[in-house]
Structure 1
Amino acid sequence: MHGRVKLKSTAQQEEEKRKEREKKLKIYVTAWDAVFAKRKNGMLDDEALLLTQQLLSSNPDVATLWNYRREILLHLETIREEVDVQKMYEDELSFLESCLKVNPKSYGSWHHRGWVSARLPRPDWTRELGLCDRCLSLDDRNFHCWDYRRMVVKMSGVPVDQELQFTDRLIGSNFSNYSSWHYRNACVPFNNMKPLGVILAFSEYELVQNAFFTDPNDQSAWFYYRWLLGRGMYCYVVPPLAQLLFLLSELSVEKTSVLQSELQSCNQLLELEPQNKWCLLTIILLMRALDPLGYERETLSHFQTLKEVDPMRGAYYGDLCSKFMIENTILKMEYAEVRVFSLSDKNLTTLCHLDQLLLVTHINLSSNQLLRLPPQFAMLQCLEVLEADNNAIENLEGLYHLPKLEDVSLKNNKLSRLSDLQPLASCPKLTRLDLRRNPVTQLVNIESELAELLPSVTDLLL
């Protein structure tokens, strides 16, 4: 039809795109072959530099090309005057900006930029900070850019106050900017020997509290808060943990007065947000740092609430609660200096700190939620009696070669195969075994097979 633009069919468009791709690929492959031929022949000239530039402009993530490019630049650096070297590296920085536009998170581009900046005779750090500002304004979680900024700040000697103001600006516009919070821990000069460190610490508490009181469900501020409380500013160990360093809470390095004040603030937030998981978990950690035994009841209550409000992570909370309950029991045992260790009816889902129970002779793990006895259980070489009734134990891999074990009670578990009991054969003094209400007791000829597997057992309850 006269006067009308002819529209190309879809098939025509696809065919033209295919031809265009083939044309670009042919050019790319030709340049690629030429680059590797030059490198094989040890040619470090301007032409090789131009060829690598063509390839990297299309795909800046080929590490080999960046390596070859650095070899060329190092060679040219030795044969040129300082003015020319300055110009050469400035051109390289301009080229790198174009590569970052293609892929702002290119490992190779950022690494090469750091290398070039370090070799510049007269680096312009203000320009580099400006580049970081622009990149972070487009993506405030570009960790390559954050790493590069740390290098620039270190090399240029940017004042701490300036960097803190920079992160203040980003955090002020977005409390969820986790990268900015993380960057602050490298900026804030905490030092227990200087009053400035203490002053800054309290200003940081105020900043982070403003963040999580504004948006309690944002995890970024909570993670920074936990780091802030446990950063090691004070070399202080909270009693009664002083003699058991392996039980230290991640927050217990801060002064008791500060921890108590922060616990009060978190409790105030919990009154406003009773189902906030981050607040609940932080309160638990603060209680652990202050007085793990004194706050045990409140800790258990908060863990129960956590499982209800965040069921997806229920297993994690169960394991963490188990860890804390075992630590508390070890503390009590230390005070009493006994060799009987009872963890019955604690809702345990896992076992830990078994290396602290090497002298224990009697362990009661009954009425928990254990699925297995882990391999570390074999460390308990002094163990004589084990009670693990009313769990969900499916294998006994940890009951291996316990030379003093005599009595094992495993009533009401989920042992279903004879092979599950095989580790017990390595316990030479085992004389009593209770397997009542386990599926394995329903197997045909189980009694005779157990007698053959465990000849030392004289008191077998099925």
Structure 2
Amino acid sequence: MSETSSSCASDSADSNPPWVFYRDRPDWADVQPLPQDDGPDPVVRIAYSDKFRDVYDYFRAIYASKEVSQRALSLTMDAVELNPANYTAWHHRRFLLKELNADLNQEMDYIRFVINGNPKNYQVWQHRRVLVEWLKDPSKEMRFTEIILSIDPKNYHVWQHRQWAMAAFNLFEGELEFVERLLEEDIRNNSAWNQRFFVITHTDSHNGQFSGDVLNRELTFTMNAIRKVLGNESAWNYLRGLIDNTAESELTEVRKKCSLFCHELFEHCDRKSNSSSNLLGAMVDLYCDQLEASESGSPKEDLAKAQELCRILAKEVDPIRKQYWEFMSRDLLVRFESQSQ
């Protein structure tokens, strides 16, 4: 692929000219290729293709010589096409883009094409991030990441890039609505739950703590989601996150509210169903919180209830983690037995 014919990478593969090895190109005759040195006795010799070996032998040569030219930039395109995860090739491409004062908007078109073919590659997203920083223009990032997420709504690299753009350029407006649409499509989407927490932490918290109307709104939203799907671990984790980050002045009340919610569910759930393991685990945590904060009205009774829940989890509901729940039961006894005398 040459820079002139595909710098925006919009041409189809059929329109590209036949591949010519660099060693056979007259305009590269002045460059001595630099073979890869795997040592005298490599443990596993990689079977590189002739094309791969040819491109990277010449890439190593121009990298070593620090040649700054349009042909060197074109060569990096061939290098990253063969291995989009190669950090050095992308790093050197950025070096050349700056040295050549290249058109960065054209490069944005190119990296969009590359990302479409490699959406789970860290290096391509890092390259786009640097370009956005250089251009100081995040105007395309929210829409672009939304398009990629429509294909794979749990792509970690896309979410990471989206969060970076939002935090760096204050692009939080409308994000809660976007997240709610994703959760309507898949209420178990852990990435969307994580994004919701990211948004409210940056927009609706005070020093990372929640209170007032925001806290009540999030508790109501989360509890409604749990009622729809009791076994939704993502929603239970979100509820735990809200409790852990509640302002001290409202923490006791929030624990009571969550405890009442859990007991309401407990009265009507199938206690031998795997879907209730998150509920029972949350109840154990809440009993532990209350005992730890000396908020329990009857410590002895609450300790016994927590241990009974651990027994049910170990024996009936979550036997795959039997040893964990048995450990939790013993730990509760060690920590709170004296309190319950």
The TM-score bracket by the shorter chain reads 0.7 to 0.9
SS at match of 2:140: helix
> Partner amino acid for 1:265?
F
> Partner amino acid for 1:136?
L
Cα shift at 1:290:
2.0
Q: Which residue of 2 aligns with 1:456?
A: none
Q: Which residue of 2 aligns with 1:146?
A: 159
Asked if residue 320 in structure 1 is aligned to residue 328 in structure 2, the reply is yes
Q: Which residue of 1 aligns with 2:287?
A: 287
Which residue of 50, 57, 70 corresponds with 1:46?
70
Give the Cα–Cα distance (whole angstroms) in 2 for the partners of residues 91 and 326 of structure 1.
64
More off after superposition, 265-274 vs 144-153: 265-274
> Partner amino acid for 1:143?
Y
Cα shift at 1:217:
1.0
Q: Which residue of 2 aligns with 1:228?
A: 242
> Partner amino acid for 1:289?
D
Cα shift at 1:219:
0.8
> Partner amino acid for 2:229?
D
Aligned positions, number: 282
Give the Cα–Cα distance (whole angstroms) in 1 for the partners of residues 185 and 69 of structure 2.
48
Residue by residue over 1:329-360, the C-alpha shift from the partner in whole angstroms, topping out at 9 and shown as x without a partner, is 36569xxxxxxxxxxxxxxxxxxxxxxxxxxx
Q: Which residue of 2 aligns with 1:346?
A: none
Cα shift at 1:235:
3.1
Preserved contact between residue 191 and residue 198 of structure 1 (Cα < 8 Å): no
Asked if residue 35 in structure 1 is aligned to residue 59 in structure 2, the reply is yes
Which residue of 65, 68, 81 corresponds with 1:57?
81
Asked if residue 297 in structure 1 is aligned to residue 304 in structure 2, the reply is yes
Preserved contact between residue 192 and residue 198 of structure 1 (Cα < 8 Å): no
Q: Which residue of 2 aligns with 1:130?
A: 143
Residue by residue over 1:86-144, the C-alpha shift from the partner in whole angstroms, topping out at 9 and shown as x without a partner, is xx212222221222222211011111111111001x51x23111110011111111111
Cα distance change, pair 44–320 in 1 and its aligned pair in 2 (3 A): farther
Preserved contact between residue 262 and residue 279 of structure 2 (Cα < 8 Å): yes
Cα distance change, pair 277–163 in 1 and its aligned pair in 2 (3 A): same
Q: Which protein, 1 or 2, shows the higher relative CO under an 8 Å CA cutoff with sep ≥ 6?
A: 2
Cα shift at 1:170:
0.8
Give the Cα–Cα distance (whole angstroms) in 1 for the partners of residues 175 and 57 of structure 2.
46
Cα shift at 1:328:
0.6
Superposed CA RMSD in Å reads 2.5
Q: Which residue of 2 aligns with 1:270?
A: 266
* TM alignment of 1:383-398, pairs within 5 A: none
> Partner amino acid for 1:271?
E
More helix by share: 2
Q: Which residue of 2 aligns with 1:258?
A: 254
Preserved contact between residue 56 and residue 99 of structure 1 (Cα < 8 Å): no
SS at match of 2:120: coil
Give the Cα–Cα distance (whole angstroms) in 2 for the partners of residues 207 and 201 of structure 1.
10
Asked if residue 212 in structure 1 is aligned to residue 226 in structure 2, the reply is yes
* TM alignment of 1:330-349, pairs within 5 A: 331=339
Give the Cα–Cα distance (whole angstroms) in 1 for the partners of residues 78 and 209 of structure 2.
55
> Partner amino acid for 2:123?
G
Give the Cα–Cα distance (whole angstroms) in 1 for the partners of residues 130 and 223 of structure 2.
39
Give the Cα–Cα distance (whole angstroms) in 2 for the partners of residues 280 and 196 of structure 1.
25
Preserved contact between residue 216 and residue 279 of structure 1 (Cα < 8 Å): yes
SS at match of 2:133: helix
Identity level (%): 23
Cα shift at 1:287:
1.6
SS at match of 1:105: coil
Asked if residue 306 in structure 1 is aligned to residue 302 in structure 2, the reply is no
Give the Cα–Cα distance (whole angstroms) in 2 for the partners of residues 64 and 270 of structure 1.
56
> Partner amino acid for 1:317?
W
Q: TM-score, normalised by structure 1?
A: 0.57
Unmatched tracts of structure 2, length 5 or more: 1-20, 22-47, 293-298
Asked if residue 165 in structure 1 is aligned to residue 177 in structure 2, the reply is yes
Cα distance change, pair 53–194 in 1 and its aligned pair in 2 (3 A): closer
> Partner amino acid for 2:257?
S
Once superposed, which parts of structure 1, at least 4 consecutive aligned residues long, lie more than 3 Å away?
A: 189-197, 329-333
Cα distance change, pair 263–315 in 1 and its aligned pair in 2 (3 A): same
Unmatched tracts of structure 1, length 5 or more: 1-22, 78-84, 237-253, 334-462
> Partner amino acid for 1:261?
K
Give the Cα–Cα distance (whole angstroms) in 2 for the partners of residues 332 and 214 of structure 1.
36
Give the Cα–Cα distance (whole angstroms) in 1 for the partners of residues 90 and 206 of structure 2.
44
Preserved contact between residue 61 and residue 107 of structure 1 (Cα < 8 Å): yes
Q: TM-score, normalised by structure 2?
A: 0.77
Q: Which residue of 1 aligns with 2:169?
A: 156
